[in-house]
Structures are given as structure tokens and as C-alpha cells.
Amino acid sequence: MAKEITKQVMQEDGTRIISAEKKFSFKKFMLQWEWMLVLMFVAVTVFNLIKIPNYANAKNLFSATRDFIDKAIVVFPMAFVLMLGEIDISVASTMALSATIMGVAYQAGFPMALAIVIALAVGALCGFINGIILVKFPELSSMIVTLSTQIIFRGIAQIILETQSVNGFPAWHTQIYTAKIGGIVPAALIFVVVEALFFAYLLHYTKFGRRCYAMGNSTTVAKFSGVHTNKIKIIVYTMAGLFAAVAAIYLSAKMSSVRSDIAKGYELDIIAMAVLGGVSTAGGKGRMLGASLSILVIGYLRYGLGLMNASSQIIMIVVGALLIIAVAIPNFRESVGQANWFRKLKGMFVKKA
Amino acid sequence: MILLSEYILELKGITKIFPGVKALDNVHFSLKEGEIHALMGENGAGKSTFIKVITGVYQAEEGEMFLNGEKVTIRGPKDAQNLSIAAIYQHGTAYQQLSVTENIFMGHEKMTKLHTINWRQMHKDAAVLLKQLGSEIDPHSTMGNLTVADQQIVEIAKAISTNAKIIIMDEPTASLSKRECEELYRITEQLRDEGRSIIFISHRFEDMYRLASRVTVLRDAQYIGTWDVDGISNDVLISKMVGREISQIYPKKKVERGEEILRVEGLSKTGYYKDVSFSVHKGEILAMTGLVGAGRTEVCQGIMGIEKPDSGKVFVDGRELKIKQVSDAMDAGIGYLPEDRHKQGLILDWGLGQNVTLATLEQFTTATVINRKAENKRAKELLEKVKTKALSVFDKASTLSGGNQQKVIVAKVLNSDLKVVILDEPTKGVDVGAKAQMYEIMSDLASQGYGVVMISSEMPEVLGMADTILVMKEGRVSKIFPDAAGVTQEMILEAAMNM
Amino acid sequence: MNKVKKFFSSNIREISLIIVMIVIAIFVQIRSDGNFLSGENINDMLKETAVLAICAVGMMCVMVTGGIDLSIGAIMALGAMIGSTVLKGNQDLPNIVIVLISMGVGLVCGLINGTLVSRLRIIPIIATLGTMNIFRGVTYLVANGSWVKQQEMGQGFLGMATGSFLGINNLIIIAIVVYVVATFFMTKLRTGRKLYAVGNSEESARVSGIKTGRTLTMAYAILGAIAGLGGILYVCKYGVAQGETCVGYEMNVIAACVLGGVSVTGGTGRVPGVLLGAILLGMLNNAMPLIQISVFWQEAIRGLIILLSIIANTLIRRNVEMKALRRRNI
């Protein structure tokens, strides 16, 4: 089927010249998913500008990010998990558990800083447990395993806190949420930007990232190529757990209290953000730039709709529809092109050559 | 029945266009009743597309199809089934998790009067069909638990159960052992004697000579011609398929055998192989042969640490190799070219360059960051060295033909600091032209002082290339011929089978 | 002898589930002073499980094709919400009409999911994640911030869940009917077998002339209709319909299927297994309060049991394979 390439230069001794220069293709450049996200972001901004008076206010726009930073923190490591062709449904429960343990540790008289370190350790441990189970039982799908650890982690949080809440954290803890650099840019946003840069660097420039891509495309090929697939899987899941704990600390500062039922349903929002960003749940595809853009698209869409007093139900519908449309677009041309009705329709207008 | 035509099936001027590619260009084909007709051509010549046109999976843009002299149009697989055409595809289309019975009757189940599935009748009929084919497969067993050969018999039973008059077999012998091939030949002949017509696609000349009365050759999506098998010689046929003469297929060079480079002692893994010992020297090509399922691939994957062995020792250059994971074997200097290009060797969505460097990223990294320029430059050098037909290192691996994909994997293996190369069925499913180049590469490797282990089921290539022949039988080393000169096909077969 | 062995090896999943259930039953029976296995409690337990078991059948249809449907909870809520809103205005409508309305709504939702998956080729988990948000949002819109309360439903409707037939609760009866139909459908009808064919290999199914797109759409449509039924029964049982009805229920349903041996990669899964999976979950919910396990411990224990049982199943399968390897005598 593959037509042989004819243009190739062949030297006299029969060797062929293969180019190692990347040719810039404008078409390819413009066909990147990220442009679509930029368009969406522009659309959202224009929409908000028209509908909301005084929308273009730098201070407010920066403050708005604080509403979705808790999810944004986990989107990047989640993108890594999806990149491997796996999924982690337990991140929200991990958030709840590490926040709970932080609260309890603080209540028990540990200094806040130590309580935070413990929370981070708990988050990393949760992720590590997911990773270990998946590595030891490769027959099990990550969806099922993290589905059950999701129940377990949340369950442990419930055992510890029951229906109580912990509050009265020191003032500097609240600062994690409220602090602003120069009175405008939230400190937590700076953290997210640095995090995004770190993960982008990790995925796109390092050995580790390349190997993750390889595993997402084919774990077998990666394994046959000497990639330590088990180690990578554990690291990626541990990372997801660790950053879930980071998000939990932020969230506890935002709510200035901790309960066992915080962050319920976050996992699906986080996955949705990554997927809208062009990260395929089948693995092996996606970029951190896309993930970052999609966080902004969904985040500001919510913010704008919220300011317009649109009910949260409308927001749910819009986000759901956006997700489906976004994923459907790349498939649309192909599937419609093959459909019979489309062919017939086309046949009516386009004469056969 | 009065035949309106000499042919039961005739196709004229078939053209199939995929976006940007002409997959079939004005192809003709004719099939007589009760004939076995071989369809040959290199990989990518369009054979698979052609049969998919016949079975209605694809629709041709141009061309006509006649069945018993009457013009027919096939719009989908169901149409083909109704016209008594059945196909057994190359990549098993079996339902692995369903029973044999269900595989046979899927799509045309036996029903009771109440329009429910009549399982009892189906199991019974399945048993009868399988018995007709001389097979003892239990209709209740799960498809996935059968051997490839048995699965093929089930597929044939399925074709018969639809009352197919025309049966298309797409490379049925590709992964069968010698004995299983014989079994398949017998069944195919039986089908022919029952008056069915068979289109038999294969790479093996052996199959064609054994079975077919006529042969049609396709090349680069074009129709080359149809000949009586008796009236055409091997060399002519090859040149028709390749479009040029191939002088010497086995370019074996005389190499002095050097010191021992790889030694395997008592390697065992429950259920797969036991007590496997052998050694390979510098400049030596050791061919591992035997029936499919004798444990050859498993032994090599054990050495590589892909599936760890239970016990046994492996020495490279006299030093014991602690087999923990694949990277250990690679660090020790063993390279492995896997059997399944698509599933084990290449990431099809990636460019060639990234595929070549995947196993050896360390060479291009400083402080964990990949130097892409150096990476691409190295990939370019290696790909040129193995004469890959490609334009750029950024070409997607999926766009190359089978033989060229194999070369990319060779380049990938060659990039590491090697002492021993293990090639698992390096020419399987590769066309004639690329085959010759693979042999050349192998020969070069040996003359450069590498130890080469080649797993192969093809007798001619084993006899043509090997210095030492190791025959495996049921997970054990059955016999080692230290000097391949003078060994005959019969001697190998005797060692490989229960005799 | 050989036949017995064959029976065991081909039903290992179901048998091991039954064994687990017996072990739990004995343990709980002793700890609860014999209350657990009383007729009343068993009736209670099955009643509580009925809705979950019904929905699990729908999920099984989808999972067998290799898909998944995260929107099942939202479909239940939407179907039930629309059904009960209609009921609120017309309390004299026969129950069957309300049930059919709910099922119809579910069917439409399912068709939407099916179309997204089969025609637009969106990965099921993503497509249904999107529609989950949409259906849930629409439910809130229909609810318009208020609940449909017990008084507004009327005794005639509520009686559907409390009433009984031959001493067996109606919900159980409905569940039994659903299971009988499902078993018949999945094993005796061509259409049911097509689901398995598609789940095993979509390519092969297409080649053997099965309209795979239609089959996939059908699977999601069945799930939708069944979810509509489950939703209205759920509301009927608890006597309240609200926007939050069945939030997170999808995880319970998926868990029941997985416990019952339905593979997430498609192609395998049997109706009896799913029933056992659902009952096992129901048993845990029922037994834990009986032996005075604190409410707060129950979720963790449930999750742990799900995890352990899938791990145990993997170990059993590995053991079987290892034995087969040893038998090869190499």
C-alpha cells in the first residue's frame, strides 16, 4: 500500500541521503491543537468583555486564577499519567486524605510546617501505592485500581475526621491563598507557572519525558528498548500523589479549614482540563502548553459565567459540551467524510474527475 | 449449472485510491472453479487491499467484478458472504475471548424456531465441521487458548460453514511450523477437491509450488501478469515480483571464528524452556531453529531479561550477566531485534530518528536534557548505513514498508555498544528485496566480529546463512550442528520433530 | 469427574464470588447473633441492592463492548427528575407511564452517548465524562433549585417500592425480571452476542458483517434506558428527587461490574457474575451496620474489599496459568 518514495537522492554506491534537518511546515504549524485553544481563549475573553462591565481589570483577572489554582496544580502531573495511557481517579481522594492528616497533625500539636511536610509525604505515599499496585499487577487496569483506592483514601479520611472539621491554622497558612506579589499577582499563581515550566521541561526536553511518551505509545516497545517502565510508572503516580497533596494544602488555605469531604469530584474536572488541552487518554500524545491553555480556557469561562450570575448548572453544561466538541473536532472530518450520507451529498455537488 | 463464463470469479480494471496513494491500479484477476490460485507480490504490492475489495471491506473506485459471468457489486462484507465469498485474514480476526463455536458461527448463528440462538445445534455442527477438516479441536474451548494453526483451522471451518465457494487465504502459512503447514496444505487441497476455489496469498514459493495451479503477481499496486505455475521458474517469478534481478540471496562471507563471546548455561523457565545451553563466538552466525512454539523466542527474551528466566546463567565475554531488566543485557552488549516489528520494535507514530535513539538516549543527554541535534545526526548516519529508503529522520515509521521498518530497527539495535546481536525472525513478512539486504547486514555484522544469533523458521535461510545450527524441540535443545556445512533440511527436521 | 472440573474452571469467577459471600455471611451471621440471615434482613438487603443490580446490567452491556459510561448516575438523575416532575403535576398517572417517561429520557441520553462514541469516535470515558456534566446540568435546570418531595409523589407511586408480590418486594421482582431478560438477551439472542463480538475485536466484527456502529450505539442506548428505570426506582424508594440524586453512583455500578468479572478492556463478562458482584456490594452495605462497624469505617472497608477481591482474582488466574505451564512438562 505504501507508495515507495521516489524523490530520494541516491548516491552512486547505493546509499541514500536522509535529511536530518527539520523543515518548517506552515501548515503543520497552524494545525496544532494549541491554536484551537488560543481561539477558544480569545472567544471566552471577548464574550466576557462584552457581557461583563469592567472585566478588563488586571487585578481582578489575576485574582480570578485563585479559583482554579487548586485544580491546575494537579492537571500537569495528571497529564503525565494520561501520557502513559493510564488514568488516576484517586487524586481528589488523595487531596482529602493528605489535607485531613495535615489538619490532624496540626491539631495534635505538630508545628504547621511539619504538618505540611507530613501531608506531602502522605500524598506521595498514596500515589506510590497506586503505582506499586499497578506495577505488581499489570493485568489490572489503572481505572479499576485507582477507582478502588479512591474509595479507600477517602474512606480513611472519613475514619480520621468523621464529620468534624479542623480549623484555626496559623495566619501564614492562609497566606498561601491570600498572598499577592506587588498586590496584584497571587503568589500561588507564580507557583503554578513555575510548576508548568518544570513539567514542560521534564516532558519535552528530558530523557524521562521522552521515555514517558514512548511508554504511552507502546509499553512493550519501551520495555524492549530497555526503558525501566515499572520505575517510570511508579515515579509518575507518586508525582501525581505529591502534587495532589500540594493542591490540598492550597485548598485548605483557601477554605481555611479541612474536612474529609473536600475536593469531591475534582478528579473528573482535572482530567477534563488535561484532555481539553490535547492530552490523549489513550496515551502518547499531548503537550504541557495545551494543558496550560485549557486550564485558562475553562477557568476564565467559569469565572465569566459566574460573574454573569449564570447558575452553576449552565457552567456544567457548557464545560461538558466544550469537552466533547473539543475532542470531536479532530475526529469529525474523518468520520463524516466516511459516512454514506456525506458521500452522497458530496456526489450531488462534486462531479467525478 | 451452466457456467456463463470460464471463470467463477473475474475482476477487471480494479482501481482503489486512498488519500494520496493509489493502492490498486487497474488490476485484473480471474479464478476458475476448483482452482487454487496463488497471489504473490512484495509487501505493499496491494495484495491485502485487493482481497479487501473482493470481500467488500473496501469499495473500488473503478473496475468491474463478475461472479459466474454475471456482474456484481459488493457493498459490504455481508454482500460478499451472501455471494459465497469468505476470507481468512492475515492478522487473526478471531474473537479471542469467545468459544470456538461462536467464532465459527458469528454473524450466521443457528437459530431455533423462536429466533433464539441454538447453542446445542451450533456446538454439534461445529464439531462436525472440525472433524471434516480432520481436526480434534473442542468446540467449547476458548479461541485465545488455541495455537495459531488451530485458530486458522477454526477460521477455515467458519468459511465452510457459510457455504463459501470462494475462499481467500491471506498468508496463512506465515507463522506456522513445517508440520502445521503440511496440515494446512492437506486441508486446502481437500477444499479444492470439494469444488471450492481458493485464492492463496503467500510469500513462500514453497506454498505456491505445492498448491497452486496458476499464479498472479502484483507489484507496486499494479497488475504484472498471470502464469501457469508449471511454466514459470523461480528466478523469473522473483524478478517479476521485485522488478529487477536478484543475483545472490545469501551473501555469506567466510569469517574466522573468534573467541567465545556469549555463553548460556542451563537456562530454564517453567513451561517455556528447560536446560538450554549454547555458546556463540565472535564472527559466528548461530541459527536457532525448530518448530514455532519450541521456545526459541522465549529463550532469547530470557537472555535479554524481557521475561526473566527461573534459573541458569548467561556470560558475555566471560563475565556473568545478572539478568534483572532489559537495560542490563543491553549494557552488557547484547542487542535484540524483536520478532514483531509493529508491537515490539517500533513506535509507529514517531519519526524514524526518535525510534532509532529510544534505546540509547544516554548517548545524547547531558544533565538529563536531550541534545536533539546530535540525536538526529546520529540517527541519520545509522539509517543511511543500513540503506533505509526514507526522506528524512522525521518521517513517521508507519509510512515505511515492512522491509524498511526492519532496517530502522536494525539501526536502533546497532546504535549501542554491541558484542552480540540476536535477530528474531529478521526476514519474516519482509519482501524479497529487503530480505537480501537483511542477509547482507547479518553477514557484515559477523565479519566485523560480532556474535550473531538468528532465530528462523525458514530452512533455506538457516542453511544459507548459519555457521552453527541449534535446533530446539519442546523447550529443550534438541541438537546442535557445530558446522552447518553438510547439514540438510531433513537432518534439521528430524531433530525438530518427534521422530 | 472431568465434567465437574470443566464446570469449575469455566465458572471460576462466579464460584469464587460465592465463596467470598459465604465466608462473609458466616462471619457476619455469628457476629450479629443470627440477625443477618433472617428472612427479613435478606429481603431488606436485596431490596437495597435491587437498583444497583439493575443498573449494573446496563453498565455490563457497555463494558462488554470495551467502553464505559461515567454518565450513568447523571442519566438516572435526569430520568428520575423529569419523571417525577411530570408526576408532581399529575399524581393520578399510572406508574407505568412515569417509569416509561424516565426510561425514555434515559434512552435518549444513551443514544446521545452512543452516537458520540460510535459516530464521532470519541473515547468513551471522555465522551461520557462530558455528557455526565451536561445531563447533570440539565437535571439541575429541570429541578430549578427545588426538590420533588414525598408528598408530591403520592402514595400510588411510592407504593411501587414498598409494595410486594407473593411476599417479595416489588423492586426485587423488577430486578429479577431485568436479569431474566438480560440473561436471555446476552446468551440467546444474536443482538446480544454482537456486543461480545464488537468487544472482542471491532475489526473482526466489521469484517464478519456486523454493523459495529449500530451495535455500539445500541449498547449505550440500553444502558440509558436501564439507567432511566433504575433512576425512577431509586427516587421511588427514597421518596425524593433532587439535582444531586445519584451523584457518584457510577462508581458503585462500575465496581459491581468489575467485581462480577466484567473486564474493562471488553469482550468478557456474564450476567450471573454481575448479579453476584452487585449482591456482594449490597451485602457489605447491609452487613457492616449489623456488626456495629461505624459509619465512618464503612467506605474504607468497602474500597479495600473491592481492591482485595480484584487482586485475589488476578492471583487465582495467575495460579491457574502457572499450573497450565507446569503441565506442559517442559
Residue B473: predicted pLDDT: 85
Percentage of the residues of chain C whose pLDDT score is greater than 90? 33
Chain B touching partners, 3 or more CB pairs below 8 A: A, C
CA C186 from chain centre, in angstroms, equals 15
In this predicted model, what pLDDT tens digit does every residue of B119-130 receive, in sequence order? 889 999 999 988
Of B89, B97, B107, the CB nearest to C200: B97
Q: Percentage of chain C with pLDDT > 70? A: 98
In the block, cell 461538558 appears at A320
Taking 60 as the threshold, does the pLDDT of residue C227 lie above it? Answer: yes
- Nearest CA distance, B241 vs chain A (angstrom): 15
CB B470 within 8 A of CB B286: yes
**How close does chain B come to C281, measured CA to CA in Å?**
27
**Selected residues 261-290 of chain C with any CB under 8 Å from a CB in chain B:** 267-268
Q: Which of A7, A17, A228 sits opposite B384 (nearest CB)?
A: A17
Residues C162-209: pLDDT tens digits? Answer: 877 887 888 998 999 999 999 999 988 888 899 999 998 888 888 777
Nearest-Cα distance to chain C for A152, in Å, is 4
Cβ atoms of B461 and B439 within 8 Å: the answer is: yes
Residue A1: is its pLDDT beyond 70? no
Q: Distance from B271 to chain C by nearest Cα, in Å?
A: 4
pLDDT (tens digit per residue) in B52-73? 888 888 888 888 888 888 888 8
Strand ranges across the sheet with B311-316: B273-281, B260-269, B311-316, B319-321
Chain A, residues 239-278, CB within 8 A of chain C, namely: 264-265, 268, 271-272, 275
Where is pLDDT greater, at C267 or B262? B262
Poorest-confidence range of B485-489, C45-49, C301-305? B485-489
- Arithmetic mean of pLDDT, B238-256: 70
pLDDT band at B463 (very low <50, low <70, confident <90, very high): confident
Question: How high is the pLDDT of residue B155?
Answer: 86
pLDDT tens digits for A236-292?
999 999 999 999 999 999 998 999 989 888 888 899 899 888 888 888 888 999 999
With an 8 Å Cβ cutoff, is A97 touching chain C? no
pLDDT digit string, tens, across residues C263-275: 888 888 899 999 9
**Which of the listed CATH numbers 3.40.50.2300, 3.40.50.300, 3.40.50.720, 3.40.228.10 matches domain B7-242?**
3.40.50.300
pLDDT of residue B3 exceeding 60, the answer is no
pLDDT at C92: 79
Give the tens place of pLDDT for each residue, A229-249: 999 999 999 999 999 999 999
CB B315 within 8 A of CB B342: no
Over range B198-205, report the average pLDDT.
83
Region A300-319: mean pLDDT is 82
CB pairs under 8 A between A and C: 147
Residues of C in contact with A327 (CB under 8 A): 122-123, 126-127, 130
- The predicted pLDDT at position B61 comes to 85
- C chain contacts of residue A150, beta-carbon cutoff 8 Å: 251, 303
Q: So what's the pLDDT on residue A283?
A: 83
B332/chain A closest Cα distance in angstroms: 12
Determine the Cα–Cα distance for residues C25 and A129; give it in Å rounded to an integer: 30
Spell out a b/e string for C253-283, using b for 16 or more CB atoms within 10 Å of the CB, else e.
Answer: bbbbbbbbbbbbebbbbbbbbbbbbbbbbbb
Q: How confident is the model at residue C293 (pLDDT cuts 50, 70, 90)?
A: confident
Q: What percentage of chain A reaches a pLDDT higher than 90?
A: 49
Mean pLDDT is lowest, of A132-146, A189-203, B263-277, C78-92, for C78-92
Cβ-defined contact of B57 to C190 (cutoff 8 Å): no
Which structural domain range is residue C135 located in? Answer: 50-287
Q: For chain B, which residues make up each domain, given as ranges?
A: 7-242, 260-333+417-496
Which range, B27-31, B106-110, B139-143, C216-220, is most confident?
C216-220
Query: How far off is chain A from B356, nearest CA to CA, in Å?
Result: 10
- A324, pLDDT greater than 90: no
Please answer yes or no on whether C129 and A323 come within 8 Å at the CB atom.
yes
CA distance linking residue A170 with residue B11, whole number of Å? 84
**Inside any domain, residue A148:** yes
C188 touches chain B (CB under 8 A): yes
Distance, in angstroms, between A6 CA and closest chain C CA? 32
Q: Is residue B21 pLDDT above 70, yes or no? A: no
Model pLDDT, residue B60: 85
Distance, in angstroms, between C303 CA and closest chain A CA?
5
pLDDT at position C135, please? Answer: 93
Q: Which residues of B13-30 are buried (b: 16+ CB within 10 A; e: fewer)?
A: ebbbeeeeebbbbebebb
Predicted confidence (pLDDT) at residue A4 exceeds the cutoff of 80: no
3-state secondary structure of C299: helix
Residue A132 is assigned to a structural domain of this protein: yes
Residue A293 belongs to what domain range?
34-323
Q: Is residue C73 part of a domain?
A: yes
Q: Is 60 exceeded by the pLDDT of residue B398?
A: yes
Separation of alpha carbons B391 and C207, rounded Å:
35
Calculate mean pLDDT across residues A202-210: 93
- What is the band of B109 on the pLDDT scale with cuts at 50, 70, 90? confident
Cβ proximity of C195 and C269 under 8 Å: no
Q: Is A330 contained in some domain?
A: no
| Model pLDDT, residue C93 | 83
Residue percentage of chain B with pLDDT more than 90: 24
For chain A, the straight-line distance linking the first and the last C-alpha, in angstroms and rounded, comes to 22
pLDDT over 80 (residue B179): no
Cβ–Cβ below 8 Å for A271 and C129: yes
Lowest pLDDT segment from A71-75, C136-140, C224-228? C136-140
pLDDT, tens digit, for every residue of B329-363?
999 999 999 988 888 999 988 999 999 999 988 88
The pLDDT value given to residue A340: 58
User: A2 contacts in B (CB within 8 Å)?
Assistant: 21, 44, 399-401
State the pLDDT confidence band at A352, using cuts at 50, 70 and 90. very low
- At C16 the pLDDT is 82
Asked if A328 lies within 8 A of C116 by C-beta distance, the reply is yes
> Does the ipTM exceed 0.90?
no
Residue A338, pLDDT score: 54
Domain count, chain A: 1
Cβ distance of B344 and A210 shorter than 8 Å: no
Q: What is the mean pLDDT of residues B476-490?
A: 86
Q: Output the CA–CA distances (angstroms, integers) from residue A243 to A114, A175, A258, B425, in the order listed.
A: 17, 19, 17, 46
Q: Which of residues 277-296 of C touch A (CB under 8 A)?
A: 294, 296
Nearest to B394 among A4, A14, A22 (CB): A22
> Is pLDDT of B373 > 80?
yes
Q: Å from C326 to nearest chain B CA?
A: 5
pLDDT at A336: 54
B126 to B96, B137, B159, B166, C201: CA distances (angstroms): 17, 10, 12, 20, 21
**Would you tell me which residues 117-176 of chain B have a C-beta closer than 8 angstroms to some C-beta of chain C?**
117, 119
Residue A116 falls within a domain, yes or no? yes
Per-residue pLDDT, A347 = 63
Please name the residues between 228 and 267 in chain B that touch chain C, using a CB distance below 8 Å. none
Statement: residue B491 has pLDDT above 90: no
Q: Is A183 exposed, middle or buried (0-12, 13-18, 19+ CB in 10 A)?
A: exposed
Stretch C2-24: mean pLDDT: 80
Name the β-bridge partners of A10: A16
Please report the residues numbered 129 through 148 in chain A whose beta carbons come closer than 8 angstroms to any beta carbon of chain C: 133, 137, 139-141, 143-145, 147-148
Chain C residues with CB under 8 Å of B272 CB are 325, 330
Domain containing A98 — which CATH number? 1.10.3470
A222 pLDDT band (50/70/90 cuts)? very high
- pLDDT mean over B211-220: 87
Top mean pLDDT of A342-346, B156-160, B431-435 is at: B156-160
Mutate to test the interface with A, among B389, B408, B423 (most CBs of A within 10 A): B389
Write down the mean pLDDT value for chain A. 86
Of the pLDDT bands very low, low, confident and very high (cuts 50, 70, 90), residue B254 is: confident
Which fold is adopted by the domain B260-333+417-496?
Answer: Rossmann fold (3.40.50)
Q: Which residue has the higher pLDDT, A334 or C293?
A: C293
B214-219, strands of its sheet edge to edge: B70-72, B62-67, B7-18, B21-32, B222-228, B214-219, B36-40, B197-201, B166-170, B85-88
Q: How many CB pairs under 8 A join B and C?
A: 80
Size of interface A-B (CB pairs under 8 A): 125
Helical H segments across chain A, by residue range: 26-30, 33-51, 58-64, 69-83, 91-107, 112-136, 142-161, 171-178, 187-205, 207-217, 219-224, 229-255, 266-276, 288-307, 312-338, 340-349
C131: in domain:
yes
The pLDDT tens digits for C96-117 are 898 999 999 999 999 999 999 9
Lowest mean pLDDT: which of A317-331, B189-203, C172-186, C235-249? A317-331
The pLDDT value recorded for residue A341 is: 60
Position C91 scores a pLDDT of 78
Helices (H), B84-204: 100-105, 119-132, 148-161, 178-193
Note the pLDDT tens digit of each residue in A92-130. 999 999 999 999 999 999 999 999 999 999 999 999 999
Residue C210 located in a structural domain: yes
Residues 205-244 of A with CB under 8 A from C: none
Q: Which residues of B touch C187 (CB under 8 A)?
A: 117, 119
Average pLDDT over residues C207-236: 91
Q: Is the per-residue pLDDT at B1 higher than 70?
A: no
pLDDT band, residue A325 (cuts 50/70/90): confident
Residue of A139, A316, A334 lying closest to C137 (CB–CB): A316
Give pLDDT, residue B314. 94
Q: Is A21 an 8 Å CB contact of chain C?
A: no
Tell whether A78 is within 8 A of chain C (Cβ).
no
Q: Give me chain C's average pLDDT, please.
A: 87
Output the average pLDDT for chain B. 85
